[in-house]
Amino acid sequence: MPPPEAPGWQVPAVGWLLDHCPSDYRMYAVWRRHPIALAWVTTHHLDGQLGAMRTAYRGLRVDLGDHVEPEGIAASLAALEAEGARLLAARRAAGLLLEAMEGHAFVPRL
Protein backbone atom coordinates (compact mmCIF):
# COMPACT_ATOMS: atom_id res chain seq x y z
CA MET A 1 0.00 0.00 0.00
CA PRO A 2 1.47 3.39 -0.94
CA PRO A 3 1.80 5.95 1.85
CA PRO A 4 -1.11 8.42 2.25
CA GLU A 5 0.96 11.30 0.89
CA ALA A 6 1.58 9.46 -2.43
CA PRO A 7 -0.59 10.58 -5.35
CA GLY A 8 -3.45 8.19 -6.05
CA TRP A 9 -2.88 6.14 -2.89
CA GLN A 10 -6.62 5.72 -2.37
CA VAL A 11 -7.06 3.62 -5.54
CA PRO A 12 -5.18 0.55 -4.20
CA ALA A 13 -6.68 1.24 -0.76
CA VAL A 14 -10.20 0.93 -2.20
CA GLY A 15 -9.28 -2.38 -3.85
CA TRP A 16 -7.87 -3.71 -0.58
CA LEU A 17 -10.93 -2.57 1.37
CA LEU A 18 -13.29 -4.17 -1.17
CA ASP A 19 -11.32 -7.42 -0.83
CA HIS A 20 -12.31 -7.45 2.85
CA CYS A 21 -16.03 -6.91 2.24
CA PRO A 22 -18.61 -9.20 0.66
CA SER A 23 -18.02 -9.44 -3.09
CA ASP A 24 -21.40 -7.83 -3.81
CA TYR A 25 -20.04 -4.52 -2.49
CA ARG A 26 -18.16 -4.18 -5.80
CA MET A 27 -21.52 -3.58 -7.53
CA TYR A 28 -21.96 -0.22 -5.80
CA ALA A 29 -20.13 2.73 -7.36
CA VAL A 30 -20.60 4.74 -4.18
CA TRP A 31 -17.69 2.94 -2.52
CA ARG A 32 -15.23 4.03 -5.23
CA ARG A 33 -16.58 7.59 -5.24
CA HIS A 34 -16.44 7.86 -1.43
CA PRO A 35 -13.51 5.75 -0.18
CA ILE A 36 -13.85 7.07 3.36
CA ALA A 37 -17.37 5.63 3.52
CA LEU A 38 -16.00 2.30 2.28
CA ALA A 39 -13.26 2.35 4.92
CA TRP A 40 -15.85 3.09 7.59
CA VAL A 41 -18.21 0.31 6.51
CA THR A 42 -15.28 -2.12 6.14
CA THR A 43 -14.26 -1.57 9.75
CA HIS A 44 -17.81 -2.34 10.84
CA HIS A 45 -17.97 -5.40 8.62
CA LEU A 46 -14.70 -6.72 10.06
CA ASP A 47 -15.91 -6.00 13.61
CA GLY A 48 -18.97 -8.13 12.87
CA GLN A 49 -16.84 -10.95 11.50
CA LEU A 50 -14.60 -10.82 14.57
CA GLY A 51 -17.63 -11.01 16.84
CA ALA A 52 -18.99 -14.00 14.95
CA MET A 53 -15.58 -15.71 15.07
CA ARG A 54 -15.33 -15.20 18.84
CA THR A 55 -18.85 -16.52 19.36
CA ALA A 56 -18.08 -19.59 17.25
CA TYR A 57 -14.84 -20.22 19.13
CA ARG A 58 -16.60 -20.02 22.50
CA GLY A 59 -19.48 -22.27 21.48
CA LEU A 60 -17.87 -24.86 19.20
CA ARG A 61 -16.89 -27.39 21.87
CA VAL A 62 -20.28 -27.19 23.63
CA ASP A 63 -22.43 -27.15 20.50
CA LEU A 64 -20.54 -29.77 18.47
CA GLY A 65 -18.78 -31.85 21.15
CA ASP A 66 -21.30 -34.68 20.75
CA HIS A 67 -21.05 -34.67 16.95
CA VAL A 68 -17.38 -34.12 16.16
CA GLU A 69 -14.46 -36.21 17.41
CA PRO A 70 -11.90 -34.46 19.69
CA GLU A 71 -9.34 -34.18 16.88
CA GLY A 72 -11.92 -32.40 14.73
CA ILE A 73 -12.80 -30.05 17.58
CA ALA A 74 -9.12 -29.21 18.12
CA ALA A 75 -8.55 -28.64 14.39
CA SER A 76 -11.67 -26.48 14.15
CA LEU A 77 -10.59 -24.38 17.12
CA ALA A 78 -7.14 -23.94 15.58
CA ALA A 79 -8.70 -22.83 12.28
CA LEU A 80 -10.98 -20.38 14.10
CA GLU A 81 -8.02 -19.01 16.04
CA ALA A 82 -6.01 -18.49 12.85
CA GLU A 83 -8.95 -16.83 11.12
CA GLY A 84 -9.50 -14.61 14.16
CA ALA A 85 -5.86 -13.47 14.01
CA ARG A 86 -6.21 -12.72 10.28
CA LEU A 87 -9.42 -10.75 10.85
CA LEU A 88 -7.86 -8.82 13.73
CA ALA A 89 -4.93 -7.78 11.53
CA ALA A 90 -7.29 -6.79 8.71
CA ARG A 91 -9.43 -4.77 11.15
CA ARG A 92 -6.39 -2.91 12.42
CA ALA A 93 -5.26 -2.16 8.85
CA ALA A 94 -8.74 -0.99 7.82
CA GLY A 95 -8.84 1.27 10.86
CA LEU A 96 -5.50 2.79 9.89
CA LEU A 97 -6.78 3.38 6.34
CA LEU A 98 -9.86 5.08 7.75
CA GLU A 99 -7.69 7.30 9.92
CA ALA A 100 -5.50 8.19 6.92
CA MET A 101 -8.58 9.06 4.87
CA GLU A 102 -9.77 11.27 7.73
CA GLY A 103 -6.51 13.19 7.42
CA HIS A 104 -4.58 11.83 10.40
CA ALA A 105 -0.82 12.09 9.96
CA PHE A 106 1.35 9.14 10.88
CA VAL A 107 4.75 9.79 12.38
CA PRO A 108 7.30 6.96 12.16
CA ARG A 109 8.62 5.76 15.52
CA LEU A 110 12.05 4.45 16.21
In tens digits, the chain (110 residues) has pLDDT values of 888 888 999 999 999 999 999 999 999 999 999 999 999 999 999 999 999 999 999 999 999 999 999 999 999 999 999 999 999 999 999 999 999 999 998 787 87
Q: Where are the domains positioned within the chain?
A: 10-101
49 Cβ neighbours under 8 A, 6+ residues apart: 87
CA–CA separation, 1 and 76 (whole Å): 32
pTM (global) more than 0.85? yes
CA–CA separation, 44 and 91 (whole Å): 9
